[in-house]
């Protein structure tokens, strides 16, 4: 039993590591596809379509008989999830990725726990008690994350020379080199701004999804319906902005791979695993794994795409990661204190019940006819 319990405790950790690996690959392939000329809105639309096709069979097979009844309030909550977690988050993220680099996009995504904490406080899913150490740690961590994001966005500094990688993937390198828009698309202010807006949408999805998991514990069905709604929403936005049908073609291998990867691994698999983890550990726990994405993307971007890392990116990332773990420390300490408070109450309750029974039994043994005597005197 103890061994099974340990495996169960490790599963959310391993699942969230896998999610970050999926996201890191999506960052690289999506960046290359957009550098080759793919419109980010087209990429988001295909991402939702492929995600729906990938997750729908699992919804039918796994939850056909066990899922709760789908009501109008449930559909409305799923609609909100599609607007925040898919449309707002992904549209803003891919536009921001187009105007910046994969490293900057991943680094700014690390403000997610801070934004999640702020929204969780607003919706009373978290507390911010400044009189306690854990409350101060969460607030200070949030401020560090915001400060790191600002530093990363507005200060660049000198480029750090890491040397040349000897493992360039020639296909990606060729796609990036042939791009005519790579330099023109770079915008040090617009890119980070869209990434931050994307993070706000992502954090809002965490909050809504936390309530959804309690009301409708069917992650396959939730993910399928969310991706289906997002396909319609993103497709409508994409067709309004990009009316040239040739831009929607997937004959180019880079675009096809990026769309499939983003849809299957970046949405279907990642959304399901994240929903599963939120249901077991809560939204704040899930959001704290975002620093791992920065590390993986930084290594892959340098190794495969020859992206440069500057001083501002490093300093900003350090502040963000320090803030993240301050929030995590405060959250863990808060949960431990709550468990310590609850445990004695259970013991005291059991003790009180046991003591009360012993008193009654003792009274009955010593005064077995007390009730009858009382009746006789009356």
- Tokens at residue 6, please? 């340990």
Q: Given a cut of 90, is residue 270 above it in pLDDT?
A: no
Highest mean pLDDT range out of 110-114, 232-236, 270-274, 302-306?
232-236
User: How many other C-beta atoms are found inside a 10 Å radius of the C-beta of residue 290?
Assistant: 26
CA contacts within 13 A on the Cβ side of 349: 5
Q: Print burial letters for 117-151: b (CB count within 10 Å at least 16), e (below 16).
A: bbbbeeeebbebeeeeebbebbbbbbebbbbbbeb
Give the pLDDT of residue 168: 54
Report if pTM > 0.95. no
Nearest one of 323, 70, 87 to 200, comparing CA atoms: 87
Give the pLDDT of residue 69: 87
How would residue 159 be classed by pLDDT, with cut points 50, 70 and 90?
Answer: confident
| Average pLDDT of span 158-166 | 70
Annotate 183-243 with DSSP letters as a single string: TTT--TTHHHHHHHHHHHHHHHHHHHHHHHHHH---HHHHHHHHHHHHHHHHHHHHHHH--
Give the pLDDT of residue 9: 64
Nearest one of 143, 158, 103 to 291, comparing CA atoms: 103
Q: Which residue has the higher pLDDT, 176 or 114?
A: 114
| Average pLDDT of span 158-169 | 66
| Average pLDDT of span 23-31 | 88
Q: Given a cut of 80, is residue 265 above it in pLDDT?
A: yes
CA 312, 148, 117: angle at the middle one, nearest 5? 155
- Tokens at residue 1, please? 């039993």
Q: Rounded to an integer, what is the distance from CA 112 to the centroid of its chain?
A: 8
- Phi, psi at 24, each rounded to 5°: -65, -45
Q: Print burial letters for 222-252: b (CB count within 10 Å at least 16), e (below 16).
A: bbbbbbbbbbebbbeebeeebeeeeebeeee
Q: Given a cut of 50, is residue 174 above it in pLDDT?
A: yes
Percentage above 90 pLDDT, the chain: 16
CA 227, 232, 237: angle at the middle one, nearest 5? 120
Indicate the burial class of 295 (C-beta count within 10 angstroms; 0-12, 13-18, 19 or more): middle
Give the pLDDT of residue 75: 92
- Give SS3 for 310: strand
Q: In the chain, count of helices (H) and strands (E)?
A: 16, 2
Q: Are 25 and 296 in contact (CB under 8 A)?
A: no
Domain ranges within the chain, ordered by starting residue:
15-142+168-175+186-292
Q: Are 311 and 158 in contact (CB under 8 A)?
A: yes
What does pLDDT average to over the chain?
A: 77
- Tokens at residue 78, please? 């799923």
**pLDDT tens for residues 35-60?**
888 999 999 999 999 999 998 998 88
């Amino acid at each position: 039993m103890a061994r099974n319990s340990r495996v169960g405790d490790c599963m959310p950790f391993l699942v969230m590591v896998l999610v970050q690996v999926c996201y890191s690959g999506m960052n690289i392939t999506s960046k290359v596809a957009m550098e080759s000329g793919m419109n980010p809105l087209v990429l988001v639309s295909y991402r939702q379509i492929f995600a729906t096709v990938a997750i729908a069979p699992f919804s039918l097979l796994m939850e056909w008989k066990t899922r709760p009844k789908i009501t109008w309030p449930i559909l409305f909550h799923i609609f909100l999830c599609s607007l925040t977690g898919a449309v707002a988050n992904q549209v803003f993220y891919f536009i921001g990725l187009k105007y910046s680099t994969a490293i900057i996009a991943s680094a700014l995504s690390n403000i997610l726990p801070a934004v999640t904490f702020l929204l969780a406080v607003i919706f009373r899913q978290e507390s911010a008690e400044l009189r306690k150490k854990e409350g101060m740690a969460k607030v200070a961590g949030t401020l560090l994350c915001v400060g790191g994001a600002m530093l990363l966005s507005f200060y660049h500094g000198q480029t750090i020379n890491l040397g040349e990688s000897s493992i360039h993937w020639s296909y990606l390198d060729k796609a990036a080199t042939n791009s005519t828009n790579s330099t023109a698309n770079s915008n040090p202010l617009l890119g980070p701004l869209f990434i931050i807006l994307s993070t706000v949408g992502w954090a809002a999805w965490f909050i809504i999804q936390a309530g959804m998991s309690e009301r409708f514990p069917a992650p396959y069905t939730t993910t399928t319906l969310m991706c289906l709604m997002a396909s319609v929403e993103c497709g409508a936005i994409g067709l309004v902005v990009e009316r040239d049908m040739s831009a929607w073609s997937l004959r180019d291998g880079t675009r096809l791979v990026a769309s499939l990867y983003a849809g299957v691994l970046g949405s279907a698999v990642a959304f399901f695993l994240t929903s599963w983890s939120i249901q077991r550990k809560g939204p704040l726990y899930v959001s704290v794994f975002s620093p791992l994405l920065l590390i993986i993307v930084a290594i892959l971007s340098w190794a495969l795409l020859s992206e440069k890392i500057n001083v501002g990116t490093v300093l900003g990332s350090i502040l963000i990661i320090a803030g993240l773990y301050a929030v995590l420390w405060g959250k863990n300490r808060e949960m431990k204190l709550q468990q310590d408070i609850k445990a004695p109450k259970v013991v005291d309750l059991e003790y009180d019940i046991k003591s009360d029974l012993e008193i009654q039994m003792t009274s009955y043994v010593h005064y077995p006819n007390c009730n009858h005597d009382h009746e006789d005197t009356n």
